[in-house]
Structure 1
């Protein structure tokens, strides 16, 4: 049923599959390096040979990521050949069938997920994106793997070198019943040179070192270390194809709205900004007043954004905007580190420029920095100081990533200013 020689596998992938017999088996390294396929094949082989006692579990940050990262590849006949038809899963279900065995799917977005494992006895577990699950969940999962010969299979991209998975497990591999394999982008021979170039363009700085080079490195210093006012600030704007708006809500903290435009020159522009700081003006505003102020600002600009992405924690303000008839409202995508990466990739490629009138954003960007206390804990987080326009920009940029990602590799065009 499963002929490894018939699959397009590298020597490193085959070697890791054959040696994945430890209690903990961990594949780590860059994106698209072949680690997921190798780990899934090793896991499926273990499912095929496992005895009847104990549960089989697949874990990930959410059910959706498990479906995307585990079951979509397993059901791809181009990747897994005849094996794919022996993998059954209905989207949204919390169980699946692999080679006739029932497999339980567990999302682990926060520490509360640990309770889902209590009382279980498992013989096999697969963990997708291990650095994104809580340490307590991982520890509880290992405790549940109590059947003789039980094994855990896991994949991850690199994170901070102080992350609990690195410090507590990878760095202690010689002390534990653990085997680990480090993959780089070059370890996947099936990728075309064009694809590798496109992928590399999407990652800069910290993310390139982690996701392309596969290195565990610290997030420290300035977040947008590629920021350069002489490169990124403009006094004139080209004609725009469309606009979007991002809003970071504040009452005691500043409220910031930014307008993002896609220029006819295939660049993105932070075209305008509206801010209110109750601490400096000594005047607080209600949700209704903020809503009217944003509408007036946009009307003055003569622009109706296709979408307005609102701080997802600002539920009452979102309701007020909806009641006031603002079109195209949506909760902003608030994956902080991924959003920062999106902004950084555009800045590094000179595809995100800021109009000189956006004083708040221009004040914040140079000092927008990683929090050293979070770094010491093995976490990536920005300092929550003077970040309101930066957050609004992150909201609108990352929430529209599917609309502009192609611009990172498209040739830039010249355009007359308006």
Structure 2
């Protein structure tokens, strides 16, 4: 049923599958390096040979990520052949059947998920993207693996070198019943050179060192270390094919809106900025006043090459925590609203990739944004805790830019590699 010879596995993948007999088995390293396939094969072999005692569990950030990262690959006949027919799952269900065994699916988005494990007795567990799970959940999961010979299989991309998984487990592998395998892109024999080059183009700075080189490195210094005012600031704008807006909302802090355009030259431009800082103005505005001001800005802004004023963005991406302000905009007739995608780390990575690729530029009129970008830095206190977070200060226009850029990443990400080739 499970024919390893049909899969193009590397020697490291095969070794890890055969050696995954410790209590904790951990595959870590770069994206698309083959660690997930190896870990899934090891887990399925364990399911096939497991005794009847104890539950079998798959854990991940959410049920949706478990379905996407674990179950869908297992159901792919191109990868797993006849085995795929023996992986049964109804989307949205908290159980699946693998080789006739019931497998329980548990999402662990926050510390409260720990309670879902209490009282369980498990013999096998698979953890997808372990660094994204709360430490308390991981600790409780290990405690639940109490059947003799119980095992945990886990994958992860690298994170901070001070992350609890690195400090408490990987660095103590010699003290624990733990085996770990570090994977790089070269360890996946199924990837073409073209794909590897394209993938490498999407990661820069901190993320390149982690996701491509597979290194557990610290976030330090400037968030946008590739920012160069001489290179990225423009005085002229080309004709634009599309527009979007990102809005960061503040009451005691500044409210900022960034107009993002996609030029006819297939590059992104922060074309204009609207900003109101109640601290410097010594007066707060109401939601209705903010709404009126931003709508007026959109109707009066004029592209330097256009005679008629006004711009109609396809979408206005608003800070998802600003529910009352979004309601006000909607009531005032701005119906092309959307909640901004607010994953901070992924959003920063999108902006960084666009800047590094020569794809994103800022017009000289965006004074607030230009003042914030050079000083936008990682928080050293968060780094000490093993977290990657920027300092929450003077970040309102940078957040608005991130909302617009990351929420539209699916529209422009394919432009990254062509632009890098042109720059080279």
How high is the TM-score relative to the length of structure 1? 0.98
Supply the distance in 2 between the matched residues of 1:277 and 1:368 (Cα, whole angstroms): 18
Deviation at 1:327, TM superposition (A): 2.5
Encode CA deviations 1:218-264: one digit per residue, 9 max, x unaligned: 00000101100110000110111100100000000000000100011
Match of residue 371 from structure 2: 363
Residue 72 of structure 1 and its aligned partner are, at CA, apart by 1.3
Contact 2:246–2:257 (8 Å) recurs in 1:
yes
Deviations for 1:20-55, whole angstroms, at most 9, x for unmatched residues?
000000000000000000000000000111111111
Please give the alpha-carbon distance, in whole angstroms, between the structure 1 residues aligned to 2:238 and 2:92: 45
* In 2: Cα distance, 1:94 partner to 1:324 partner: 42
Match of 1:339 among 315, 334, 347: 347
Does 1:350 find its partner at 2:358? yes
Give 3-state SS (helix, strand or coil) of 2:386's partner: coil
Is there any run of 5+ residues in structure 2 with no aligned partner, and where? 302-309
Partner of 2:328: 320
2:316 pairs with 308, 319, 323, which one? 308
For the residue of structure 2 that corresponds to 1:410, the secondary structure is: helix
Give CA-to-partner distance per residue, 1:366-389, whole Å, 9 cap, x none: 000000000000000000010000
Alignment of 1:53 with 2:61, yes or no, is no
1:403 paired to 2:411: yes
Within a 5 Å distance, the mapping from 1:121-132 to structure 2 comes to 121-132=121-132
User: What SS class does the counterpart of residue 189 from structure 1 fall into?
Assistant: coil
Residues of 1 paired with 2:226 and 2:287: CA distance? Answer: 36
What's the CA shift for 1:122? 0.6
Secondary structure, counterpart of 2:126 in structure 1: strand
Q: Is the 8 A contact 1:170 1:180 kept in 2?
A: yes
Q: Figure out how many residues of one structure are paired with residues of the other and give that number.
A: 414
| Counterpart Cα distance in 2 of 1:75 and 1:328 | 38
Partner of 2:252: 252
- Structure 1 unaligned spans of 5+: none
Deviation by residue 1:160-219 (Cα, 9 ceiling, x = unmatched)? 000000000000000000000000011111111110110000000111110000000000
Offset at 1:304? 1.1
In the alignment, the residues of structure 2 paired with residue 413 and residue 49 of structure 1 have an alpha-carbon distance, to the nearest angstrom, of 50
Match runs of 1:13-412 below 5 Å: 13-301=13-301, 302-411=310-419
Distance, in Å, in 1 between the alignment partners of 2:172 and 2:158 is 16
More off after superposition, 121-130 vs 318-327: 318-327
Partner of 2:10: 10
SS of the residue corresponding to residue 190 of structure 1 reads coil
Is the contact between residue 10 and residue 189 of structure 1 (CA under 8 Å) also seen in structure 2?
A: yes
> 1:49, 1:339 → 2: CA distance?
42
Instruction: Check the 8 A contact 2:201/2:420 in 1, yes or no.
Output: no
Aligned to 2:307: none
List 4+ stretches of structure 1 deviating above 2 A.
Answer: 410-414
Cα deviation, residue 413, structure 1:
12
CA shift, 1:411, in A, is 4.4
In structure 2, the residue corresponding to 1:112 is in which secondary structure?
helix
Output the CA distance in 2 between the equivalents of 1:245 and 1:81: 46
Distance, in Å, in 2 between the alignment partners of 1:224 and 1:21 is: 42
1:287, 1:91 → 2: CA distance? 40
Tell me the TM-score normalized by structure 2. Answer: 0.96
